[in-house]
Structure 1
Amino acid sequence: MIVSWDKIPPFGAGLTEVRTGIWQLSEVKMRRKKGILWILLSAMLLGGLAGCRRPGGGSEMTDAVSVKESPEESGDGEDKEFSGITLTMLNFSSATPAGVLAKTCAAAEEKFGFRIEIEPCYDDNVVRTRLATGECPDLLIYNTGSLLYSLNPSEFFLDLTDTGMAETLDKDFIRAASVDGVLYGIPQCDGMGAGVFYNKELYQEYGLGVPETWEEFKGNLEVLQNAGVDAMGIALNELVSSQLPFLADNYQVMYDNPDFAREFTAGKTGFADSEEGRRTWERYEELVPYFNKDCAAVSIPELENRFFGNELGHLIYFSSKIPEWILTYGDKINKIGFFAMPGDTGEETGLTIWPSNGIYGNKKSEHTEAVTAFLEWYISEEGLDVLTSFYTPAGIFHTGYRPKEESIELIQEVQRYYTEGKVIPALEYLTPVKGINCAFICNKLGSGRIGAGEAAEAYDEECRKAALQMGLWE
């Protein structure tokens, strides 16, 4: 069975199901508090959500320095369309390796004549404060999905719905970068999936096969654990790592109940009171005995070194890690394999995906023509050729673009789930409701301080608070 996601509603609309199976606007729309006051009030509440923005090997500071200190004075030619114009870019993303954004922007500078000043941003509160105080940059690189919804994007960003750019994008990105049916951004890079990376040499040494079900997966973990090898690596003090055993399991949740996102958005179901919701937290709990003993203190770089050193069997992480690993570990990348989080049955096994972060244009910019020219070029064949010349993408591009170089086997293992149609977006791209303290709850579950049932109840309560704050639930 392959689940169709055409029925998933866009953010911001009250919806009712008709017999044709298409979601239509109902007379009663979800109430959503808008305006500057909401942006300011939500800054502290939603800051914790930024922990699961697209991670990667990128360093925004490196990007900022690269552009600022570039010896080439791009844009000084009189024959270039936007000579003399400077665009500001606030970058709240590390989705590509260090320097990629700066080099790509430098190519745009050379083509159009404008300058792009890239400012790195590591704090979601900074983004929200800038918007609330009227300091929106010309270009903002930021999350799609539930975090975009919370920004009240209609107040700040260009409407790209009826542009040629929208015609090139797939439905996953359009859904993720739209609010109330309005498209606000273009993809920064390729999308990514989250699943299980495994050490092929350890699998060969202990006679293990790629698991197709949850029980087979736990069997592999047991073999490695009994052999004295850390079976599953996790860094509970790291926001992304601690949450991924839960977040990456959304394929199974939505497979078991295709209406879960709609019912959850409407406040009609939760994790504690639904079988599929409880089960996802139970699967997390079943992994805990196999975690590395120093899971509460270890860093991700240390885990990665152990993983490539054959001291660790598995890591659950984003596929966007692959380009960084290629740069760091070279040919050792060939000892790593990938599979999606296994479901309780083989049919339930598929890949949970995260659409790309978005690049958004300031609709009140003094240079909207230059901003639009940059956005159009960035997702064109020419722009993506430039972008992919600086890194090896591991995911699928939302425009259908295909990199010129053939992918390595590890990347092909990720991409086969897209080819087979066995992908489902993470829950935060199907609903605006996301619990603020998810990482804290996962930390408590992963360290054995609470059980799966308590975790499900705690997360439901966090989601209730977030929904009330946004005016979605009574």
Structure 2
Amino acid sequence: MREEVLMKKRAALLIAAWILLTLLTGCAQQTNSLPAKGEAFTEPVYDWNKSSGDKLIIWGVYPDLERSYIKKALDRYEDLTENDLEVVQIPKEEFEKRMQASVKGEIEKPDILLSYGGTNIETYYPDENFYDFTEEPWVDDLTDTSINQTIYNGKVIGLPHWEASISGTLYNKEIFEKYGLEIPENQEEFMKVCRVLKKKGITPLYLPAKEISMLLYQFPLDSIVMNSETLEKLNEGKIGYADIPEMKKVVKWYKEMAEKGYLGQDYEKNDWDGMNEAMDSGRYAMMLCWDTWLYTDFQGDAAKFGLMPAFVGTPEEGTFEGPNLGLFIVNKNSARLDAALNFITFLADPYNYNAVFENIYTAPVFKNQVASISTPQYLEAEQLIEQKFRDSIAWLRIRGFSQMDASCILEYMKKDSGLSPEDCLKKMDHLRTVRIAGGDETQ
């Protein structure tokens, strides 16, 4: 019986792989002829129209639409097509309610939505509401990592137009050199590094715990759900986080870091706004983050920092996480659908995206993205990244996943919380299952 089940699972995986290959091959057959990679794009590659007279409404979470390359892309669209855009930026805490109201028909839907993909859009009923871009010619121009971000129910659900960062641990190279510290190769060596730093009067890790999403527990979780059987059982409700031994290691890691003083005495007061000063001050040696943060938010000397794996209890050798990409998604029921599709074609044109990503620090999202540049941190750690890289899986593929469920970990980290690791994980499981069921319980 067990062999029969395994055979069925292997067959299912082979079928899924064949479907994805067919999808990508079909896209390749539809692709326009593109110049060789590295060549300049001096004229449009795709056909996009000018002056349709339609004003498109775009929704996004504030401040996502403030990113320099997005603002430049929107301005370029208005200039070159003479069409107007109405950009609506919605506070994070209000966005879900606005989207749900639009899905229910209580308010008008936007023409275009800027959102992350995967399970993040599940509650918006993508099959009924979002345009399927599978047959568009630009799909074959997406990198493999980008394709992974766009797929929903076997369809390409949106255009990735974002910086592709690599996440791990930013570390102060000057501090490491001063105290003769090497990049750790496993969890035990990481803790030894923390111990040395604390003895030298340096707080090992800045954790902006007040910004709950920055606990970034998805980094180790990616490695856990790479096992397709584990992911499947989580999504089917057959197991929860509390049933996964590696997840106990993860929450124990946070508590150990707090109890040993490796996060500093007032880590619960640390927030996003303090990240810049903390890393520039030299009082902290490391921070869980992504490489492009050094060039989008950090105001100090980015050259002082390197990128090493994230050691968050598991996997043993540490991990780097691939990017989470914002997607431009089209309301397929829009009265201005043709204009919205024209907008997407415009953004997907190498002639345009190379202009707006010029000199932006990012790994390529498109195969023909030649104007952006990789961060020095990525180039320096490229070989190590190749060995320990994992796609962002948890954030995209676990049903009901939320970074905000790290509030349970934060509660567990407190002295005298009275919670066991199992209690912490059961609380996280409860929040996730309520979310899957469509409940409004929040943290």
Same fold by TM-score, threshold 0.5 exceeded? yes
Match of 1:220 among 164, 168, 193: 193
CA contact (8 A) 1:194 1:318 kept: yes
Residues 1:301 and 2:273 aligned together: yes
Task: Give the secondary-structure state (helix, strand or coil) at the position aligned to 2:100.
Answer: helix
Are 1:150 and 2:119 counterparts? no
Q: Give distance in 1, aligned partners of 2:287 and 2:172.
A: 9
Evaluate the alpha carbon distance shift between residue 469 and residue 120 of structure 1 in structure 2; reply closer, same or farther with a 3 A threshold: closer
The equivalent residue for 1:72 is none
Please show how residues 11-26 of structure 1 align to structure 2 within 5 Å.
17-19=9-11, 21-22=13-14
Deviation of the 1:170 alpha carbon? 3.9
Aligned AA (2:263): F
Larger deviation: 140-149 or 266-275? 266-275
Q: CA deviation at 1:216?
A: 0.9
Which sections of structure 2, spanning at least 5 residues, go unmatched? 1-7, 18-47
Change (3 A) 1:273 1:380: same
Q: Distance in 2 between matches of 1:258 and 1:341?
A: 22
Does residue 84 (structure 1) correspond to residue 53 (structure 2)? The answer is yes
Instruction: Name the residue aligned to 2:399.
Output: 432
CA separation of 1:443/1:403 partners in 2, compared to 1, >3 Å: closer, same or farther? farther
Q: Deviation of residue 174 (structure 1)?
A: 3.6
Which residue number corresponds to residue 142 of structure 2? 169
Name the CA shift for 1:409/1:417 in 2 (closer, same or farther; >3 Å). same
Which residue pairs with 2:335 in the alignment?
366
| Conserved? CA contact 1:93–1:141, under 8 Å | no
Cα deviation code 1:211-261 (max 9, x no counterpart): 1111111111111111121111112211322x31x1111243246x45321
Among 196, 200, 203, the alignment partner of 2:173 is 200
Question: 1:264 corresponds to which residue?
Answer: 234
Whether 1:253 and 2:227 are equivalent positions in the alignment is no
In structure 2, do the counterparts of structure 1 residues 305 and 252 end up closer, same or farther at CA, with 3 Å as the change threshold? same
1:393-472 to structure 2, matched below 5 A, reads 393-394=361-362, 396-404=363-371, 406-413=373-380, 416=383, 419-420=386-387, 422-434=389-401, 438-448=405-415, 449=417, 450-469=419-438
Change in 2 beyond 3 A, CA 1:134/1:163: farther
1:48-63 alignment, distance < 5 Å: none
Alpha-carbon deviations, 1:375-428, whole Å to 9, x = none? 122122122212213x6233x333224443543422324655665572232312
Q: Residues 97 and 412 from structure 1, CA distance in 2 versus in 1: closer, same or farther, beyond 3 angstroms?
A: farther
Identity %: 16
- Once the two structures are TM-superposed, the CA of residue 340 in structure 1 deviates from its matched residue by 1.9
Instruction: Give the match's secondary structure for 1:249.
Output: helix
Q: How many pairs does the alignment contain?
A: 395
Pick from 87, 98, 123: which aligns with 1:126?
Answer: 98
Q: Which runs of 5+ in 1 are unaligned?
A: 1-15, 26-78
Deviation, 1:145, is: 1.9
Q: What secondary structure, in the 3-state scheme, does the structure 2 residue paired with 1:296 have?
A: helix
1:134 is displaced (CA, Å) by 4.3
- The alignment partner of 1:22 has SS state of helix
- Give me the whole-angstrom Cα distance separating, in 2, the residues matched to 1:272 and 1:23: 31
How has the CA–CA distance of structure 1 residues 420 and 222 changed in structure 2, closer, same or farther, with 3 Å as cutoff? closer
Q: Which residue of 1 aligns with 2:293?
A: 321
Question: Once the 2 structures are TM-superposed, how far is the Cα of residue 94 of structure 1 from its aligned partner?
Answer: 4.1
**Partners of 1:270 and 1:277 within 8 A in 2:** no
Aligned-partner Cα distance in 1 for 2:276–2:84: 37
The whole-number CA distance in structure 1 between the counterparts of 2:361 and 2:49 is 31
Residue of structure 1 equivalent to 2:184: 211
CA-to-aligned-CA distance 1:339-378 (integer Å, 9 cap, x gap): 1213778874332234301111121223222211221221
Change (3 A) 1:299 1:345: closer
Q: Rate the CA distance shift 1:416–1:158 in 2: closer, same or farther, 3 A.
A: farther
Deviates more, 1:202-211 or 1:338-347: 338-347
In structure 1, how many angstroms separate the alpha carbons of the residues matched to 2:352 and 2:153? Answer: 29
SS in 1 for 2:266: coil
More helix per residue: 2
Mark the CA change 1:343 to 1:238 in structure 2 (over 3 Å): closer, same or farther. Answer: closer
Distance 1:93 1:413 in 2: 33
Amino acid at match of 1:371: A
User: Are the counterparts in 2 of residues 141 and 360 from structure 1 also a CA contact under 8 Å?
Assistant: yes
1:1-40: CA deviation from partner (whole Å, max 9, x where unpaired): xxxxxxxxxxxxxxx6134742559xxxxxxxxxxxxxxx
Paired position in structure 2 for 1:232: 205
State whether residues 212 and 345 of structure 1, in contact with CA within 8 Å, keep that contact through their aligned partners in structure 2. Answer: no
Q: Which amino acid aligns with 1:323?
A: Y
- 1:17, 1:24 within 8 Å by CA — same for their partners in 2? no
CA RMSD of aligned residues (A): 3.0
Residue of structure 2 equivalent to 1:32: none
Change (3 A) 1:415 1:358: farther
Say if 1:213 and 1:343, in contact at 8 Å, map to a contact too: no
Q: Which amino acid aligns with 1:252?
A: S
Q: 2: distance between equivalents of 1:96 and 1:320?
A: 17
Distance 1:117 1:154 in 2: 25
Matched residues in 1 for 2:414 and 2:239: separation?
27
1:392 — aligned with what? Answer: 360
Q: Quick one: distance in 1 between partners of 2:325 and 2:147?
A: 11
**What SS does structure 2 have at the residue aligned with 1:88?**
strand
Contact 1:342 1:348 in 2 (8 A): yes
Take 1:336 and 1:319, find their aligned partners in 2: how far apart are those partners? 9
Name the CA shift for 1:375/1:421 in 2 (closer, same or farther; >3 Å): farther
- Contact preservation (8 Å) 1:233, 1:291: yes
- Give the deviation of 1:207 after TM superposition: 0.9
Aligned match for 2:133, one of 145, 155, 160: 160
